[in-house]
Structure 1
Amino acid sequence: MRIAVVSDIHGNLAALDAVLLDIERRGVDRVVDLGDLLSGPLQPRETADRLIALGWPTIAGNHERQVLTDPPERMGESDRFAAAQIRPDQREWMRGLPTTLRLNDEVLLVHGTARSDLECFIETVDAGGMRAATPDEAAERAGDSDARVILCGHTHVPRSLRLADGRLIVNPGSVGLQAYTGEHPYPHRVEVGTPQARYAIVERNGDGEWNAQLIAVDYDWNAAAELALRNGRPDWARALATGRV
């Protein structure tokens, strides 16, 4: 079984289309989406239409929750832009997305962790910023789930970690945004360091063991950066063009 895993598209339709072409070239059994679909100063409405047509197993991220439930005055700029752009039918589609999903007996989809869409899984944010989580921290977040592979997003950092009991935790990175600053639970920055779109393929081999391949895909990130700039977001323009804040 080969599963392509996408996450954190953030309305970057050009990056999503490039990833779609790469997935088609590689051949997979199915594609899953880990949320944070539309928020950002790019193409939320067009991205929603593309994702609805694709019909992938998809979960909601924290930005879907925020767009649907936060009043505009409490929203960040990215959520406010998306909320103003999307149509009522797209909102209804977002409302129907689960927060976690068991794809089959072995694969679990979460955005942050199963208990919170804001909690990092294989990274930890503390007073010093963001760092790689320890195996013990990741194991505590996995809890007693019997899934053999847990797919998570949220941090935009492409990484995988195998726990001592053999469970594999995989973050595919972000399709749409390779750098940002965050405030929860402490101020921190994330910088992947290159502008390529990211996704992953997870595969179960003949012995039943799951492995992950982390993939970077070229696309026209300069055009995406120019769109962000036209929409009043120089911070996004730099992140899109460089992978740094």
Structure 2
Amino acid sequence: MGLERIALISDVHGNLTALEAVLADIEGRGIERIFNLGDYVGKGPRGQEVVDRCREVCEVNILGNWDDFLPDPDREYDTEALRWWKKELREDQWTWLRALPFCHDFRLSGRQLRLFHASSTSVHRRVRFDHDEAEYVGMFANTDATGDGPIPDVVGYADTHDPFYESEFGRTLFNIGSVGNSLSDPTPVYVILEGVPESPEPAPFSIQFVRVPYDARAELDVARELGMPELDGYESEIIEGVYRGDLYAGTSPTYHRRSCPS
């Protein structure tokens, strides 16, 4: 079997315009397999359409932190924005999102890969690029959340909206960034994996990061037309790449620092 490419996307956050731009780029490259690492909803205006589109085109869909807490039927929300994003979804989508698997394991070019949203223990535990050694090693561990599968050599995750690649101790950790809510550089980013599927033997293997420009102003206009709350925060994130928490607090960028709340 020859080399195959798999596109990894994540953190679309209701930004349908960004998603369609990335999907068009993926299709233009002839890539047919798409794995989604979660956070389909929240922050942006069209979570319903994003969920439907990802169910249509993604071979693998994984649970994100927003997908877990936003559709919770027993949770009471204390902000207008959270109530708006939840109500914008259909109830059948609430059920689908919360039932998504925690992780996805597979082999590629003789390497054991594991994909999840945020960490090996929980979709709500954030591991940033400036992690310590214990956090790094812990990302490769089997936990109650991952189950007892083969220990991975390569782990890909998302959540922080901050793409990076790191190899230590014979293992590789990478973050695929965000399609719909990329911070610092607001241009959507996704990852292409290339290798030989299910091969037990070593073979060529690559991880490529791809940035895809799109019409962010058009997406902001949609949010405005739909009456979505927190428009100034959304504009800060998708136009300037500045986390809305920093905008509201009037502070310098903190999203990627440990001191930032999750």
TM-score, L = length of structure 1: 0.81
Whole-angstrom distance in 2 between the partners of 1:174 and 1:55: 16
Checking the alignment, whether the CA contact within 8 Å between 1:113 and 1:142 is kept in structure 2 is no
Deviation at 1:41, TM superposition (A): 3.4
Whole-angstrom distance in 1 between the partners of 2:169 and 2:205: 14
Question: Secondary structure of 1:74's match?
Answer: coil
Deviation at 1:74, TM superposition (A): 3.3
1:23-59 CA deviation, whole Å, 9 max, x = no partner? 1122335210000111123111111121122242011
Which residue is 1:188 aligned to? Answer: none
1:86-127 CA deviation, whole Å, 9 max, x = no partner? 112222321331122224472211111121112233x1xxxx
The alignment covers a number of residue pairs equal to 223
Whole-angstrom distance in 1 between the partners of 2:208 and 2:240: 23
Structure 1 stretch displaced more, 60-69 or 73-82: 73-82
Checking the alignment, whether the CA contact within 8 Å between 2:161 and 2:178 is kept in structure 1 is yes
Looking at CA atoms only, which structure, 1 or 2, has the larger radius of gyration? 2
Which residue is 2:190 aligned to? Answer: 199
Structure 1 stretch displaced more, 76-85 or 27-36: 76-85
Checking the alignment, whether the CA contact within 8 Å between 1:224 and 1:237 is kept in structure 2 is no
Question: Secondary structure of 2:76's match?
Answer: helix
Which amino acid letter does the alignment assign opposite residue 160 of structure 2? Answer: T
Whole-angstrom distance in 2 between the partners of 1:95 and 1:156: 21
Whole-angstrom distance in 2 between the partners of 1:82 and 1:39: 6
Task: Give unmatched runs, 5+ long, in structure 2.
Answer: 143-149, 244-262
Checking the alignment, whether the CA contact within 8 Å between 1:9 and 1:174 is kept in structure 2 is yes
Which residue is 1:217 aligned to? Answer: 212
* 1:232 maps onto 2:232 in alignment: no
Task: Give unmatched runs, 5+ long, in structure 1.
Answer: 124-130, 180-191
1:82-231 matched pairs, under 5 angstroms: 82-104=85-107, 106-121=112-127, 123=128, 132-143=130-141, 146-165=151-170, 167-179=171-183, 192=184, 194-204=185-195, 207-208=202-203, 210-229=205-224, 230-231=227-228
Whole-angstrom distance in 2 between the partners of 1:75 and 1:104: 43
Question: Secondary structure of 1:120's match?
Answer: coil
Whole-angstrom distance in 2 between the partners of 1:168 and 1:78: 37
Checking the alignment, whether the CA contact within 8 Å between 1:59 and 1:100 is kept in structure 2 is yes
Deviation at 1:209, TM superposition (A): 5.5
Which amino acid letter does the alignment assign opposite residue 231 of structure 1? Answer: M
* 1:63 maps onto 2:63 in alignment: no
Whole-angstrom distance in 1 between the partners of 2:57 and 2:174: 23
Which amino acid letter does the alignment assign opposite residue 12 of structure 1? Answer: N
Whole-angstrom distance in 2 between the partners of 1:219 and 1:176: 10
Deviation at 1:77, TM superposition (A): 5.3
Deviation at 1:76, TM superposition (A): 5.4
Checking the alignment, whether the CA contact within 8 Å between 1:41 and 1:78 is kept in structure 2 is no
Deviation at 1:163, TM superposition (A): 2.3
Percent of aligned pairs with the same residue? Answer: 29
RMSD: 2.4
Question: Secondary structure of 2:139's match?
Answer: helix
Which amino acid letter does the alignment assign opposite residue 132 of structure 1? Answer: D
Which amino acid letter does the alignment assign opposite residue 2 of structure 1? Answer: R
1:23–1:54 CA distance, 2 compared to 1 (3 A): same
Whole-angstrom distance in 2 between the partners of 1:133 and 1:83: 32
Question: Secondary structure of 2:70's match?
Answer: helix
Structure 1 stretch displaced more, 88-97 or 211-220: 88-97
Whole-angstrom distance in 1 between the partners of 2:36 and 2:84: 22
